Amino acid sequence: FFSSWTFLKGFNSASPPRASFLCPSIKKLARHAMANFHTQLMKAMALLLTGSAVGVDGTSIKMDFLPFGSARTDPLLNPTCLSDHVHTFYGAKLSVRPETTYADMRAAPENSGNTVDNMSLYWHPTVYRHDKTNGVYKQADIWFGSSYYVWETGQATAFPNGFNMIAYGSQAKSRSTATCDGPSDCERDDCTTSDDSFFPANACSELEAKLVFPTCWDGVNLTSEDMMSHVSYDVEEGRFDADCPSTHPVKLPEVHFYFRIKDYPGGEHVFSDGSSTYHADYFSGWDAAKLQQILDGCSNDSDAASPDQFCEGQLEFRTAKTSGVQTEDDEIRGGLEALQTTPDPNMQATVSTEPVDGVSTPPRGSCTGSLLPAGGGGGGGGR
């Protein structure tokens, strides 16, 4: 006879069936409905098998962000020079230089998202669309990004001030995926691709990429040389409610980071590091005490990343949010644009003048190239 926990975990990890015949917006609603169905089924089976509500009592919040700039900079891995490859940034709206600190994030005039309290930075290698006909790499337009936090109320520890980490899609527990909503034939001049393991060769009404960060911390170090050794995934499947290893006993909220490309054209796409493997960095800009209040004070019915849960009673949003009410992606993008009160930093004027868009080859090379002096300019102007 099997344990109820193993049985329930099997339901929790099941992937909802795809419905390729549905239009993209209905398909997304169907996926979320199926995820909620699995949650409720898991709880019902807990009651049936154990006689009590054993298992997961999860809470989640969803925060959305516009990308605000791209440059070859990484203040965590390369704090003194230009980084190996170009990154796209979300969150605290400032010129992200190698020496950017927690204090800089807290002092930023605003973030590129829809919350007041979250001044964190999130970034990933820039996505390039390779135009093979003309020999040009063009940055793919990111529609918007989302950060979900999932945790057990009263059981998670807030990220300490200045905490940071990295997640790699090559790790199975990161659950890295790219979901193609509304697939169709590619209509580019050259639709061939050397690697469609992440970026599909066909077109999509929306491409949604996901990555999940580790949830266990050693309780001592804000960072580590590789940005990974001080954190760990749990000892099970990589879930917010699973046990941590003894080496990393402190449970953190589980961070999911998504980015979306609307009207993805198909054909060859690649990350700026030359790979098709998604990785992302997280640099916490929260006030730890405020985040702890949210983690202890908010509770909702979310055993997964829920698109309609916001903890609006504890977390201050820049626009009205109501838990249980999901906003369509088109409205999210328009709403985020309306919230921006300061121009995007011109990172070619404040970090490096090297071109990062419409290039024959994306710039590469750790600590190569010219870093502009600190305080050498600013203002808006896009990417």
Q: What is the mean pLDDT of each run of 10 residues along the chain (383 residues)?
A: 34 36 46 43 37 58 98 97 98 98 98 97 98 97 98 97 97 97 97 96 98 98 96 93 97 98 98 97 98 97 91 96 95 97 96 98 97 69 33
Q: What number of CA atoms fall less than 13 Å from residue 151's CA on the CB side?
A: 31
Beta pairing, strands 121-125 & 216-217 = unpaired
Give how far Cα 26 sits from Cα of 29, 31, 33, 182, Å.
Answer: 5, 9, 10, 10
Residue 373, classified by CB atoms within 10 Å of its CB into exposed (0-12), middle (13-18) or buried (19+), is exposed
Instruction: Name the residue with tokens 């996926």.
Output: 31
Q: Are 127 and 142 in contact (CB under 8 A)?
A: yes
Instruction: Give the pLDDT confidence score for residue 238 in this predicted structure.
Output: 85
Instruction: Give the pLDDT confidence score for residue 93 in this predicted structure.
Output: 97
Please give the model's pTM, rounded to 2 decimal places.
0.85
Distance CA 154, CA 328 (A): 31
Q: What number of CA atoms fall less than 13 Å from residue 222's CA on the CB side?
A: 11
Q: Is the dihedral of CA 256, 217, 153, 311 positive or negative?
A: negative
Of the candidates 136, 176, 177, 357, which has an alpha carbon nearest to the alpha carbon of residue 267? 136
Instruction: Give the pLDDT confidence score for residue 6 in this predicted structure.
Output: 34
Residue 291, classified by CB atoms within 10 Å of its CB into exposed (0-12), middle (13-18) or buried (19+), is buried
Name every residue whose Cβ is closer than 8 Å to that of residue 297 and which is 6 or more positions away in sequence.
Answer: 153, 313, 314
| Amino acid of residue 339 | L
- Give the H/E segment covering residue 107: helix 102-107
Of the candidates 377, 370, 383, 375, which has an alpha carbon nearest to the alpha carbon of residue 81? 370
Orientation of helix 4-13 relative to helix 24-50, angle to 10°: 180
